[in-house]
Chains A and B, each alone.
Chain A
């Protein structure tokens, strides 16, 4: 167990060092299909439109977190995995801004509250890439079952699925 913890944390450390370096290297160059765009007051961009855009692989290069949880929108508990929302926002320098998340179907919601620290951008469900038909490719996910006080309507409302973009003001 001790070994596991150590090995995971050192891996995570390595991964974070690597991804900082790699994004710095490859900023503005998502190789695949763009699934997330950060727009507005972003500190760095990788396109001429001023936004910071990510494909699946880029998001997977951030340190990955995972947990198992039920949601009001699913029948069974699933394991969700992806980078912390805050890590990605900090990377773009918009962690402290006012944020509006918008989905593929144009549903949008304001992101706010201390609960956001717990949120991940889930890109895998039970190890598999999430498809649009299963609320992918990105589902803003909270560990509702494991962290007390999260399982409430305010949080449920922010669990935007088919997340496509986040704009910062």
Chain B
């Protein structure tokens, strides 16, 4: 792709405008609710930026997806979720009742099922430029060729211009150079069991592996409090036993 002088000039002007805009505004931050994570983020996740969420392993896809959806719920506004059509066969179709169960109202969701990574990114670019959208969630599996540094720069620029938060969800992928504001690595975590040893609220182990404006942090163990819509500290380490609790005999 060769840019003409004309295009280059227009781009420079655009960038200059953006830099002015950036200087004038301080980004709004959305606290996660988890005190340590918020402290590491300098108050919270920056709104209107590009953030990357990586699944630790293929098996952590559900946890990473959950984390991204929970962030979307916290960020608010409508959500445009873009994924490749064939991912549904491998990772399961997005189930709207399940989205509702983690506290995101499916009425605020528009789902785009696209044929390939290139169209996913094209749709993402279009959606990220639309100020009427709250969050764009771009789900890409493995290492698609069209997703390079330039592609992430485009998304980051679009997010900063429009104020739309863009979450780039990567499954079975390794980190690569990108223009994202933060990068997260998500692993599954045993939940704090409920009565009768039932699986409890969503629990995640979340690591901030990179951020532009500060040092990395974590991993933190978090639990998603759907009813309050925040992440809270997970305290399953000591208090809960990882098995059925048996009453101890009073006298040994």
- Chains A and B belong together in one complex: no
Q: Which residues of A are in contact with B by a Cβ distance under 8 Å?
A: none
Q: Which residues of B are in contact with A by a Cβ distance under 8 Å?
A: none
